[in-house]
Chains A and B, each alone.
Chain A
Amino acid sequence: MLAIVSHIAIGATDLVAAFLFLFGLKRMSSPATAASGIRVAGIGMVAAVLVSFLYVFTIDAAARPHLVVNLELAVAALAVGGVGAWFVGRKVAMTAMPQMVAIYNGMGGGAAGGIAAVELFGTRAHGTTQLVVTLLGALIGAVSMSGSVIAWAKLQGVLGKPLRFSGQRILNGAVFLAALAVGAWIVFTAPGGIAPVLPVATWIAIFFGIALVFGILMTLPIGGADMPVVISIYNAFTGLAVGFEGYVLGNPALMIAGMVVGAAGLLLTLLMARAMNRSVANVLFSNFGDVPAKAKHGAITGTERETQASDAGIEMRYASSVIIVPGYGLAAAQGQQKLYEFVKLLLAAKVQVRFAIHPVAGRMPGQMDVLLAEAGVPYDLIFQLDDINADFGTTDVVLVIGANDVVNPAARSDKSSPIFGMPILDADKARQVFVIKRGQGKGYSGIVNALFYEPNCAMVYGDAQAVLIKMIEAVRGLGAAAA
């Protein structure tokens, strides 16, 4: 009786939770309601977690003797994992958001893989369909976990340059096929099937090992500039894995939440890839960034012209229109507050100031929007590529801050460039371009930027925050002199 009531309570609560997730996600898709959207989804999560303790009335006979220990373990795991991640998530700098999303996503993938492992080692999956779905979820979850950890390490700077070697794609393909082969072997040798040679548990362990290795190998060669797409696709992967394990556990809330995230993540990934004019397969397998090291860029002549921060600041003060193009360098220098301070000075001097955001600026889609929002920049000053690109030709000054590939005109003109065809912000069409850059040399992706050699472009070398402070002082100095 208690078991039936528990089942109904869990089923009903999960249904409500699934609704709240969808409703919350819908609210999150508009700036005005977004903040309440996450809270709505949060209520669903808390309810679903609390009610799942009713599982104690429904557990297998085999697990009864372990109930007290299992409950203690559950509470401890919830407390340590939940409180720990909560604390870190509250403390971490806004600029570190991409790697935080990567690591939390990897945790979700690991959890899905763990559920699959319990089902597989405990031989709980019944029938070929369940077994296949469990294994698929295990594979995707494990790849998402190890891949996300590598993505985190790259963004955090723990791992440096992309690791590439000849025959890499063949090796990766072979490892992937090996995972599929071992998975198929487990299905065929399942109880009632052919003799497994090694114990089934060993094969399962091998399967997980190969899947984890594949996630690492697949992510290692991908350049840092492509990490937004990679995080997004692993986010979709984890969603799929959760959905599959939800099916195995007979839990529709997991199935719905997982598949919604899988589809949403897939669409987001495609949008991002399209913004770079590349296919997702091209991002994952093309070893992007390798090319410029080998290819000769004979088309670029001339030298980079340097100017002082104060001169650039004053020129903007007397311009009538300024467009600011922020990139990862702004995030790295934590310069967003100083940038808005500078922008407020320009606005006070009746300069029209707008921000132009490229879809893949930074290390995550929309990262620049979040940074500017953190500094307090109103979002009606912020424009996306399609909305502002036509205006560069009539703009006095463009200030590029720590962005590189997204303003490289080679994407329009140079067929040999690896980014040829990628839509870019046409910063070079403005009357004057200033580029704040940490130093001479190539950007994160390693591609030479033709913009820097244009006659209407001047470079301001230095840390973005330090440069902006100088610009602020220069413009303030003008005001003081006039008064």
Chain B
Amino acid sequence: MTADLTMTGFVALYIFMLAGFAGWVIIGNVPAILHTPLMSGSNFIHGIVVVGGLFALLNASTPPEQAIGFFAVLLGAGNAAGGYAVTDRMLAMFKSSGSDGKHPGTARIHHLKKKG
């Protein structure tokens, strides 16, 4: 298998460093009004762990490995699906006074307020 994704420790550290920096900067100037949906949204994003669970389960060769892999996928899928469901519901509710209150899910937001 020549197309594998093995990496040296330093490449991994570079990935961690850059990803960590990206996360820090992206959240850095988020208005407090979005803290809960954002926590929920980032919670959804680490639901990608389900992919690792699938890898482990598909490579399982003993019953204990299969059992643990099953639970890893089960929990990871719950993390991803549940995280998406609650985040989507929360974000659909945000609107400003300029928008129509009857359909919050489709309402447009007319202006933004920047807060630290």
Contact = CB atoms under 8 A, between A and B. Distances in A.
A373 B91 CA distance: 9
A245 B39 contact: no
B75 A100 contact: no
B15 A252 contact: yes
Interface stretch (A177-185, A359-367, A406-414, A465-473): A359-367
Interface string A121-157: 1100000010000000000000000000000000000
A118 B72 contact: yes
Interface residues of A, number: 131
A103 B82 CA distance: 9
Given A8-B3, A73-B66, A263-B27, 8 more contacts: A81-B81, A112-B49, A250-B7, A259-B16, A261-B23, A263-B23, A264-B26, A265-B39
A121 B59 contact: no
19 contacts: A11-B3, A11-B5, A31-B34, A35-B91, A39-B88, A49-B51, A70-B57, A78-B54, A84-B78, A85-B82, A108-B47, A111-B52, A114-B53, A121-B65, A243-B19, A255-B15, A257-B45, A263-B20, A263-B24
A260 B50 contact: no
A77 B57 contact: yes
Nearest to B88: A38
Contact of A255 (B2, B19, B68, B70): B19
Interface string B30-68: 111111111111111111111111111111111011101
Given A250-B6, A257-B48, A97 B36 contact: yes
A105 B16 CA distance: 21
B39 A74 contact: no
A83 B77 CA distance: 8
Contact of B81 (A86, A115, A118): A86
A250 B56 CA distance: 12
A26 interface: yes
A290 interface: no
Contacts of A7: 1, 3-5
B110 to A, nearest CB: 8
Interface string A1-39: 001100110010010010001101110111110110111
Contacts of B33: 31, 357, 366, 369, 379, 382, 384
Contacts of B83: 89, 101, 104, 108
B75 to A, nearest CB: 4
A94 B32 CA distance: 18
Given A81-B74, A366-B33, A111 B79 contact: yes
A25, A28, A94, A267 pick with most chain B CB within 10 angstroms? A28
A122 B37 contact: no
A293 interface: no
Contacts of A115: 49, 52-53, 55-56, 72
Interface of B: 1-7, 9, 12, 15-16, 19-24, 26-62, 64-66, 68-99, 101, 104, 109, 111-113, 115-116
A357 B115 CA distance: 13
Nearest to A96: B86
A67 B58 contact: yes
A271 B73 CA distance: 32
Contacts of B62: 122
Contacts of B43: 101, 104-105, 108, 235, 238, 261
Interface of A: 3-4, 7-8, 11, 14, 17, 21-22, 24-26, 28-32, 34-35, 37-39, 41-42, 45, 48-49, 52-53, 55-56, 58-60, 62-63, 65-67, 69-71, 73-74, 76-78, 80-86, 88-90, 92, 94, 97-98, 100-101, 103-105, 107-108, 110-115, 117-119, 121-122, 129, 231-232, 235, 238-239, 242-243, 245-247, 249-268, 271-272, 357, 359, 364-367, 369-370, 373-374, 376, 378-382, 384, 386-387
Contacts of A235: 39, 42-43, 46
A480 to B, nearest CB: 25
Given A32-B112, A242-B46, A107 B79 contact: yes
Pick the 5 closest A-B CB pairs, nearest first: A89-B85, A114-B72, A378-B97, A85-B82, A366-B35
A92 B86 contact: yes
Given A107-B75, A111-B72, A250 B59 contact: no
B86 A97 contact: yes
A242 B28 contact: no
Contacts of A97: 36, 40, 86, 90
